[in-house]
Amino acid sequence: MENGGNNNVVNALLNKEMRHGRTAHILSSSSLRKKSDLTIVSKPWVFALSLLGLTPLAERVSFLTEQVAYYTGPTVGGLLNATCGNATELIIAIFALNNNKIAVVKYSLLGSIISNLLLVLGTSLLCGGITNLRKEQKYDREDDEEGDNDLEEVVIGFWSGVAWLLGMTVIIAVLSEYVVQTIEDASDSWGLSVSFLSIIFLPIVGNAAEHAGAIIFAFKNKLDISLGVSLGSSTQISMFVVPLCVIVAWILGIRMDLNFNLLETGSLALAIIITAFTLQDGTSHYMKGLVLVLCYIVIAACFLVQRSPSNYLMAIKLDFSFFCVTRSLYPVEIMMTLPHAIGIETSCSKFSKWPKIACPFVENSGNGFCSYSMLLQHIAPAAANRTHVNKLFHNKSLLIKAF
């Protein structure tokens, strides 16, 4: 009798709310939307302005690194160039790892390599070829090495350079944190995938110094230096920054691999092959640069149309119906998020005997009614199949209504 009375109370409450068009899900969603509208609108602008601020800082950090490296000798200078010269990419990657955004790390580093091979080098060859149409451009000039030794000129002291370098690194760290935290909001607002923003926009900002320097040297008909800048930066990222990010992820206890899908692997292979064929004869023409730039545009278009969810996790909605015990037995409709289907937790004590699922929205009516509304966007590919999810909840009386 008591259960029947409780059921009648719950049904009466539900009918009353439905007549007025209000449910716990609608109320919680509408109130949350009102509170967060201003934040959601401003976050894309934070992302854009942070990228804009990182662009000149990346160029200045590269310049200061070269100035400080002049005083330290070739060995320490080379290590300093490898670390601080790619400070923007490295800091963005570390913040993304700290926020468990593995896809942003992998896409940004892959995009940096492709950007240096195709965009930076291609723009250099294109601009240099157009500027020096009546001159033969070569970048295997062994007899001109002596005349290039005076290219670097020290204009700042050692300690001044170190102080400026540390200060700008701190500012880059702050802006990089804003970029990482707002990239998904910018993706939703602009209708662009996270993969496109990570592989196109972030590398362009990080490679601002290489891009500017390579073009300047190309205008001066010094393509050997432009070639060294673009290929050297690609080598540093692939041989130093990428392994370092894997080690940092291991230290943080984050599982990160270098497993790329077909499009990403094919894009990298295409960039390497096209660059190798372009540079094999030791001469340059503006058409070669145009080919490299067009290849970069094609790769960018591929990632533009590809809808890859962030963190390599699949955006799938699951509707569950289950029975839970509070004051009585009654059904509750929910949509849930399963982060990797591993280590799933919640702070809701009512469901301590149930599979613990992370629930950001909890609404209690005070009469035993509990409604959860969540977007399922964090299921790992390995767990994104009906069989695995059914096994996960097989002994928990959880019925999957729609997959």
CA distance 58 to 66: 13
How many distinct structural domains can be found in the chain?
2
Q: Are residues 388 and 301 in the same domain?
A: no
155: how many CB neighbours lie within 10 A of its CB? 8
H/E element, 221: none
Residue-level pLDDT at 12: 55
Does any domain span residue 28? Answer: no
Residues 290 and 342 in one domain: no
Give yes or no: residues 301 and 361 share one domain.
no
Alpha carbon distance 327, 378 (integer Å): 32
139 found inside a domain: yes
Q: How far apart are CA 227 and CA 218, in angstroms?
A: 9
* pTM of the predicted model as reported, rounded to 2 decimal places: 0.64
CATH number, domain with residue 92: 1.20.1420.30
Residue 303 burial by Cβ neighbours in a 10 Å radius (0-12, 13-18, 19+): buried
Q: Are residues 227 and 114 in the same domain?
A: yes
- 301: which residues sit within 8 A by CB, 6+ positions away? none
Residues 220 and 323 in one domain: no
Q: Strand, coil or helix: what is 313? A: coil
Helix axes 102-114, 87-98, angle to 10 degrees: 160
Region of 366 (left: φ > 0; alpha: ψ -120 to 50; beta: rest) is left
Given 3-state DSSP classes, what are the helix, strand and coil percentages for the chain, each rounded to the nearest 5?
65, 10, 25
Structure-block tokens of residue 135 = 């001159």
Within 10 angstroms of residue 396's Cβ, the number of other Cβ atoms is: 12
Tokens encoding 217:
């040297």
- Of 278, 308, 338, the one marking the end of a domain is 308
- Does residue 12 form part of some domain? no
Asked if 249 contacts 255 with a C-beta cutoff of 8 angstroms, the reply is: yes
Are 43 and 186 in contact by the 8 Å Cβ rule? The answer is: yes
Q: Return the ∠ at Cα 102 (arms to 259 and 53), rounded to 5°.
A: 125
The first and second tokens of residue 196, run together, are: 């496109």
Are residues 328 and 285 both part of a single domain?
no
Q: Does the residue 332 lie in any domain?
A: yes
- Does residue 82 fall inside a structural domain? yes
Asked if the structure places residue 326 within a domain, the reply is: yes
Residue 1 lies in a domain: no
- Domain end residue (candidates: 251, 275, 308): 308
DSSP class of 356: P
62 in Cβ contact with 85 (< 8 Å):
yes
Q: Are residues 295 and 336 in the same domain?
A: no
Residues 170 and 190 in one domain: yes
> Is residue 25 in a domain?
no
Range of the domain at 323: 314-402
Interatomic CA distance for residues 114 and 203, integer angstroms = 9
Whether residues 275 and 321 share a domain: the answer is no
158 in the same domain as 114: yes
* Domain's final residue, options 290, 308, 326: 308
Q: On the CB side of 40, how many CA atoms lie within 13 Å of its CA?
A: 10
Do 256 and 369 sit in the same domain of this protein?
no
CA 351 to chain centre: 34
pLDDT for 269 equals: 95
Domain co-membership, 342 together with 292:
no
pLDDT by 10s per residue, the chain, length 403? 444 554 554 455 445 545 444 444 444 444 444 444 445 447 888 888 888 888 888 778 878 887 888 888 766 776 777 677 778 888 888 889 988 889 899 999 999 999 999 999 999 888 888 887 666 556 555 544 444 444 456 788 888 888 998 898 889 888 888 888 888 888 888 888 888 999 998 888 877 777 777 888 888 777 787 888 888 888 889 998 899 999 999 998 888 888 888 999 999 999 999 999 988 887 778 888 899 999 999 999 999 887 654 433 333 333 333 333 333 333 333 333 333 333 333 333 333 333 333 333 333 333 333 333 333 333 333 334 434 444 444 333 333 333 2
